[in-house]
Structures are given as structure tokens and as C-alpha cells.
Structure 1
Amino acid sequence: MITFNAINHTYPGEAEQALTDLSLEFGDSTVTALVGPNGSGKTTLMQILSGLLPSSSGGVSINGTGMRPNDLLGYSVMASSDRDFDNSSAGALVAYASLRPTWDQKLFDHYAQRFGFQMKPRKKLRKVSSGQAAILTGAVALASGAPVTVLDEIQAPLDVPTRYAFYEELLTLAADALEGRRPRRTFLISSHMVSELENVAEDVVALKNGRLLAHESVETFTSRICAIAGNAADVESFLVDHPGLGVITSRTLGSAREIVVDLRGRGITDREIASHSLTLSPCTFQDAFAYLIQENDQ
């Protein structure tokens, strides 16, 4: 159990906080998606969890034990699409990573074969493409065996086939950990390609302006933001019968009207929808995220 306890963080020279009173728990879920607009605090959260950045206040605990940044450095690993290791060779990066007691060389060799790494001893990573550097860094993170593995936009420079292959390897590793074939691990993955995370993650954490908007299962997240459509008069009658229902957006075309609503905490049944001659359709993961941000702006 990983717990964020009222985390606040402000970067030196900045007036606005990057994270504000952030409290959440990563429980039994194996893969959690971290989503939010640019500047929402995703990377800051990941760096704090990885021990790379001490928070201004608040703390992180694991299984009830408070963790200092140095403790988290040994417990976590973070991989990003930034070219942080450009002055190192692939061989040096792997040699350093293999110092971890949890390092799995056999697993890394499997990734090297699948993704075709060129492990030239002296070739600096700055001389390879962003995609090649990213998949190497991501593979090192997966093979590290770190109990907390943080992937910050690692898939952004990858082409579609490589990206999907990386997701496949991540899910295989997560399943092995969940079913006891490997030690338990928690994966936190962020991406602006939100639609791709729907089939990768079990839970989702959504941030906006450094604050927590949502933390729930992907299934709950996608089912709570719904489109209700039908005759405009029937939609209006439905809204009258459900005062306080949050309408995120509405559009009318002739006599038809569609509204997008947030059903969180509302026990609206299919029977109620049918009694007003309406249809209800859950939004996609990406649309639910976009509408949630829009709702927060309102």
C-alpha cells in the first residue's frame, strides 16, 4: 500500500503550487494510469514517488512506514522519454541498473531480443533515435524488478507497433506479479495518449492544476461520464426529475438533444432512462477524461 499524505510542492521561484494537498492510496491495483493536462503535476508526483524530488510538505509511506527520498530511490525506479542518459552508453546504463538486487537479466535479454537493442559498449545514447533510447530505458525499468515502477511518457516517442509491444510486455509482467509468479509490483504510467491506457490500466488518477480530480477504477471512470440522448422535451423532463444532475455539455439538433452528464453518486437505472424514452451511452476513456476536465473548468 503506497500512501501520499497531504503532499504539497512548490518549485523555487514559483508562486503557484505544483501539487496541492494531494492525498491518495495505491492499493492492490497493479497498473495505474496517471492522466491530466500539461502542467497538472503528473511528473512532479512521479518524481516524488521515485525519490528524485523531496516534497515541500507532506510525505509518502509504504505499508504504513514513512519513506524518505533516499528510501524511495532504492524502492522505486522512474523511466521517462526525456533524454536523461544521453551521455551514457547502453552498456553502462544496463550495467548500472543491474546493480539492483532485484535486477532480472534473463528478462532484459528477452526485451533486447524482442526490441532489437544494439548494445554497442561505447556508443552514447545521444547518437540513437528518441524511440530507441525510450524503449531501452523502458526495458531497463521493467527488468529492474523495482517494487514501484514509474513510467512517465516513456511510450511517447515510440512507433505504434513498438508501443503496443511495450504495453504487452508491461501487462505480462503485471499479470505475473498479480498471480504470484513474480514479486508484487506497482506500475504507474502516464501518457497524453489517453485512449491507449484504457486497456492497460486497472485504476486511473486524474490531476488538474496540481489537485486530485479522480481516483477510481477505469471501469468506474468510464461508466460515470455518460451521454443521454433523445427527444429534447424528454431530456428536459428527465432533468426536471433529477435536479442537481451535473450537465457537462449539451447539444441540440432539430428536435433531438444530447447531454453529457457525470453520474457519480447518482443511482440512475436503465429503467428510469427507458421511462423517459431516452438512451444512455457510457463515454470512452478518452472522452470521459476530456469531459471531466471540462466539468472541472465549469
Structure 2
Amino acid sequence: MIQLDGVTKRYRGQSESDAALQPLNLTIEPGSITGILGPNGCGKTTLLRMIAGQLEPSAGTIRVNGAATTTDERVARCVIAHEGNNFGEISMKEVLGFARLRPGWDEELYQHCARRFDLPERGKVEKLSLGKQSGFAAALALASMAPIVILDEGHAGMDVPTRYALYEEIITANAERGQTFLISTHLVAELDRVIGHLVVLNRGMVLADEAADDFTTRFVTVTGPASAVRDAVQNRRVLAERALGPTLEVTLDGPLPADILERGRLASAPLTMQDAFAALIQEAGR
């Protein structure tokens, strides 16, 4: 279990009001697959790097299994694959030599992932395409057998079949080995096949922290004659609205009862995860 108690992060020159992360209280359940979503600059990478032990919080405590941890202790428990990966002018052989020193390293799993992600056997990492670099980093992360695996845009540049292969490997690792996964991505539409929980960040603050199924059923559109829609959604949280001539479509946080829909001859439909995420972020920006 990962717990963040009042965790903040301020970079040099930032005031309290524009800190990269405002005080956060989060719990990541062990053996879960959690999506960390948000627009650019919302604090996702900062949060994940702190959990991975690459950054120290400015304030607050990060606990693992109930015990406060240092950055070194979190590095031992976590592995992170992120966009770019910053391998530099190093060869795949050299990277693998280092990775194989990690306790629990699974060579058979690495070779399996290398085949699935169509990776070359050797070469300079910087000479690989971005998608192959991402596949290499993901294969290393999975084969590390770390109890906490973090992918921060870790599939950047991957084509669709390779991304889907990665998702399958994540689900298998989670189901068979109980590893905890934290995934940050802008490909929100693809996450609903993978994650069980999500955290939405905006401007360093948490907008949502809930089960993925609850999130996708929580937001709905209601469509019908404008006057009937406005009557029906009084005292409801409206995230967005769109006029279509005499018809009005609104996005609501929470469904309307069936009798209200029938009385107003209104149509209602759930939003996809991507549409719900976009509506939540757009409302927060107004």
C-alpha cells in the first residue's frame, strides 16, 4: 500500500499557491492498476517521481505498507519507465547488464517482452525509434519484478499493436504476480481496458480519486427540449452544455432518476472515460 499524507512539492521560485503539487492525501491499494490522469503541467510526473524515489517531497510523508520511507527505500521498491527514458549514448547490452543486477530480475520474462515488443537484440539505445525505446524501457520495467511499476507516458511512440501487447503484459503481471501499476498517459480512451482505479489531477490538486467503473458511470449526458432539460437539471452539477437549436445537451455529474427523464421526454447516456475526463478538466478550467 502506498499512502501520501499531506504531500506537497514546490520547485525553486514557486509560491505555495502555484506549487507543482498542493497537499495531497492519496492511497494506492496494493495489487491495483491505477491511472494517473491530468492535463500537461498538472503534477503527474512530479507525483510519480516522488513515489519512485527520484524526488523528495517539500512537505508531507510517503508511506509504503504503513511505514514512512526515504527516497532510497522507494527506489528499491519501484521501477519507472517514462517518455524519453534518458538512456543517453549507452548500448542496450550495457543497460541490460545493469538491469540484471536487480534482485528478482526475470530473464525469461525480458526475452518474452522483447519478442512481443519486437525489440532488436543489440544496438545503441539512442539509435532506436521512440517506440522501440519505450518498448525497451517497458520490458526492463516488467522484467525487474519490482513490486511497484510506474509507466509515465511509458508507451510514447508505440504503435497500436505494441501498446495493446503492453496492456496485456500489465494485466498478466498484475493478475499473476500481484504487482502494483501506476500508469500516466494522455491516451485516456485506451485506459478503460486496463485500470481499476483512477486519480485525476489538475493544477496540482486532486479532482477525482475513485474506481474506474464508478467514474465512467458517474457522468452522463441529458438531451431534450431546452426548457425540459433546464427544469430537470435544477440543483444538479452541470459540467457542460451545448445548444442544438431547440434541443439542449448537458453533461451532469450523476444520473437523473428514470421518472424525471420520462416526464421530460429526455434521453440520457453515460460518457466514455475520455469524455468524462475532458468534461471534468474543462469545468475546472472555467
Equivalent residue, structure 2, for 1:286: 274
Partner SS, residue 233 of structure 2: helix
How far is the alpha carbon of 1:252 from its aligned partner?
2.1
Root-mean-square deviation (Å)? 1.5
Equivalent residue, structure 2, for 1:95: 97
Question: Structure 1: 5+ residue runs without aligned partners?
Answer: 177-181
2:251 to 239, 260, 264: 260
Separation in structure 2 between the aligned mates of residue 147 and residue 129 of structure 1, nearest angstrom:
28
Q: 1:159 to 1:247 in 2, by over 3 A?
A: same
Aligned AA (2:65): N
How far is the alpha carbon of 1:119 from its aligned partner?
2.4
Equivalent residue, structure 2, for 1:231: 225
Moved more, 17-26 or 254-263: 254-263
Question: Structure 2: 5+ residue runs without aligned partners?
Answer: none
**Residues paired across the two proteins, number:** 284
Equivalent residue, structure 2, for 1:167: 167
| Cα deviations by residue, 1:206-250 (Å, 9 ceiling, x for unpaired) | 00011111011111111111101112222122134xx2x111222
Aligned AA (2:263): S
Separation in structure 2 between the aligned mates of residue 111 and residue 23 of structure 1, nearest angstrom:
35
- TM-score norm. by structure 1 comes to 0.91
Separation in structure 2 between the aligned mates of residue 270 and residue 156 of structure 1, nearest angstrom:
43
How far is the alpha carbon of 1:89 from its aligned partner?
1.3
Runs of 4+ in 1 over 6 A off after TM superposition: none
Separation in structure 1 between the aligned mates of residue 13 and residue 135 of structure 2, nearest angstrom:
34
Equivalent residue, structure 2, for 1:31: 33
Residues 1:208 and 2:208 aligned together = no
Contact 2:85-2:137 within 8 A present in 1 as well: no
Identity %: 38
Q: 1:230 to 1:73 in 2, by over 3 A?
A: same
How far is the alpha carbon of 1:29 from its aligned partner?
5.5
How far is the alpha carbon of 1:283 from its aligned partner?
0.6
Partner SS, residue 103 of structure 2: coil
Equivalent residue, structure 1, for 2:20: 18
How far is the alpha carbon of 1:28 from its aligned partner?
4.7
How far is the alpha carbon of 1:276 from its aligned partner?
2.6
- TM-score norm. by structure 2 comes to 0.95
Within a 5 Å distance, the mapping from 1:114-153 to structure 2 comes to 114-120=116-122, 123-153=123-153
How far is the alpha carbon of 1:270 from its aligned partner?
2.6
